């Protein structure tokens, strides 16, 4: 059961906190590893004890448990670890990345409010904002988030939230977080940032002025593709309303998924280091390849937001890249896309990202590009796999 300050981690390095934050020997059994508290409810010696626990949990006090929809010790340990990694006072874990997106915004927006969003976002976030929020009386303006004049012009007196991804999905644009924070705060809006694509090992948006940072923990944080989850981190005063919203909407994380994500997060720094190194090498290989029209990875000098990437990212560029095969006269670009995908022998073709293996996502409806989540395999094998699949693009 995690308690604040259980281990003296103040001042400890990111890699050390990834391993130790939120973790301590179980106080009842002395189990060295984080237990999975696979229980719906908690029982008490007396009615008064039960009442005190319910009151404390519903006042969002850490370490108070009475029912797993509201709070659970395994999930609380994960929350402590992820808050530590994002440099936040508090965090709320939930059932999926979309639970984190929807609960954080529904908690801080009401009918009549306005929201400025990046026009390049994870497609389900886009659908939520464009199709669902307006039916709840929340107005939404999409803007090209790298066009800072357009962002300024989109702000209105009733703008309460600005929302963007640090590295956008799928076009890999880099958001200038310090400037966005300045614009949002001038208009008394919160800057809410989805950091799923990069992870706190690459960038910590709260340090750059964001008010809330969220993730699909399904991706890099868990790292093994075996659990669906989400998290939002920020100050306790901003997280408590999201905790309440998550409870009311019934979006609680399952204890088993929290345990899997906490286990994965321990190795985040090592996995990201390797994936980012492989991604930089693969980006260079693809950029030099005659069958590739363009590649986007923040490590490349050709990236349209190179200067912003230098300012915002921390010398690690993350494991995500996108590329477009070169168009050949007389060849349907979708056939070229199929030829590449269908000749992959080792890597999977599918959605999702941030796993230990390289995952290839063909996007025929979004410009015929490939989004690649680069894994931790040997780079020689990654290079061989891409080179041989590209040979089939004719
Ligand atoms: C950037 C981003 N945010 C949020 C999500 C939603 O996460 P989940 O699938 O866990 O709901 C995803 C999923 O791919 C994503 O890529």
Which residue's CA is minimally distant from atom 14 of ligand 1?
352
Q: Distance between CA 325 and CA 334 in Å, rounded?
A: 10
Q: Look up residue 67 and give its DSSP letter.
A: B
Q: How far is the CA of 108 from the centre of ligand 1 (A)?
A: 20
Q: How far is the CA of 98 from the centre of ligand 1 (A)?
A: 6
Atom of ligand 1 nearest to the CA of 98: 11
Q: How crowded is the C-beta side of 213, counted as CA atoms within 13 Å?
A: 30
At 325, list the tokens. 């095969």
* CA nearest ligand 1 atom 9, residue: 97
Report pLDDT for 2. 44
State the closest ligand 1 atom to the C-alpha of 196, by its place in the atom list counted from 1.
Answer: 1
Say yes or no: CB of residue 218 within 6 Å of ligand 1.
yes
Domains and CATH numbers, the chain: 14-37+72-265 (3.40.640.10), 268-391 (3.90.1150.10)
Closest ligand 1 atom number to CA of residue 169 = 1
User: Who's near 16: CB < 8 A, 6+ residues apart?
Assistant: 9
Of the pLDDT bands very low, low, confident and very high (cuts 50, 70, 90), residue 382 is very high
Pocket flag, ligand 1, residue 164 (CB < 6 Å) = no
| Greater model confidence, 337 or 85 | 85
Task: State how far the Cα of 228 lies from the Cα of 214, in Å rounded to an integer.
Answer: 14
- At 5, is the pLDDT very low, low, confident or very high (cuts 50, 70, 90)? very low
Max CA-CA distance within the chain? Answer: 78
Any atom of ligand 1 within 6 Å of the Cβ of 347: no
Tell whether pTM > 0.85: yes
pLDDT given for residue 1 in this prediction: 45
For a mutational test of ligand 1's pocket, the pick from 96, 124, 350, i.e. the residue with the most ligand atoms closer than 8 A to its C-beta, is 124
Write the pLDDT tens digit of every residue in 17-73: 999 999 999 988 999 999 999 999 999 999 999 999 999 999 999 999 999 999 999
Tens digit of each residue's pLDDT (9 = 90 or more) over 90-145: 999 999 999 999 999 999 999 999 999 999 999 999 999 999 999 999 999 999 99
Tens of pLDDT along 272-294?
Answer: 999 999 999 999 999 999 999 99
Atom nearest to 229 CA in ligand 1: 10
Question: For the chain, first and last CA: distance in Å?
Answer: 57
- The protein residue whose alpha carbon is closest to atom 6 in ligand 1 is 97
Tokens of 162: 């600005």
So what's the pLDDT on residue 7? 84
């Amino acid at each position: 059961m995690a308690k604040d300050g259980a281990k003296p981690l103040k001042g400890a390095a990111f890699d050390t906190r990834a391993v130790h934050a939120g973790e301590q020997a179980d106080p009842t059994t002395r189990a060295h590893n984080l237990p999975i508290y696979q229980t719906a409810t908690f029982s008490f010696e007396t009615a008064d004890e039960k009442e005190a626990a319910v009151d404390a949990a519903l006042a969002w006090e850490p370490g108070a448990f009475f029912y797993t929809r509201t709070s659970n010790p395994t999930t609380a340990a994960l929350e402590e670890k992820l808050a530590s990694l994002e440099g936040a006072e508090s965090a709320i874990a939930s059932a999926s990345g979309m639970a984190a997106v929807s609960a954080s915004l529904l908690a801080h927006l009401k009918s009549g409010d306005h929201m400025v969003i990046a026009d390049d976002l994870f497609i389900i976030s886009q659908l939520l904002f464009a199709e669902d929020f307006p039916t709840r009386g929340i107005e939404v303006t999409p803007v090209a988030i790298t066009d800072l004049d357009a962002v300024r012009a989109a702000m209105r007196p009733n703008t309460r939230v600005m929302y963007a991804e640090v590295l956008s999905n799928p076009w890999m644009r880099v958001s200038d977080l310090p400037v966005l924070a300045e614009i949002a705060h001038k208009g008394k809006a919160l800057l809410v940032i989805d950091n799923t694509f990069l992870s706190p090992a690459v960038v910590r948006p709260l340090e750059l002025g964001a008010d809330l940072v969220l993730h699909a923990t399904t991706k890099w944080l868990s790292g093994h593709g075996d659990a669906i989850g989400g998290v939002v981190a920020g100050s306790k005063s901003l997280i408590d309303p999201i905790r309440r919203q998550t409870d009311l909407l019934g979006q609680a994380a399952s204890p088993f998924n929290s345990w899997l994500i906490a286990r994965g997060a321990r190795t985040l720094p090592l996995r990201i280091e390797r994936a980012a190194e492989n991604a930089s090498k693969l980006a260079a290989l693809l950029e030099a390849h005659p069958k590739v029209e363009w590649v986007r990875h923040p490590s490349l000098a050709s990236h349209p937001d190179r200067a912003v990437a230098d300012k915002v990212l921390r010398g690690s560029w993350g494991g995500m890249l996108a590329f477009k095969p070169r168009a050949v006269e007389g060849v349907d670009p979708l056939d070229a896309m199929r030829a590449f995908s269908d000749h992959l022998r080792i890597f999977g073709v599918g959605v999702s990202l941030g796993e230990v293996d390289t995952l290839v996502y063909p996007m025929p409806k979004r410009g015929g590009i490939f989004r690649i989540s680069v894994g931790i395999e040997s780079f020689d094998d990654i290079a061989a796999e891409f080179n041989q699949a590209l040979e089939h693009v004719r």
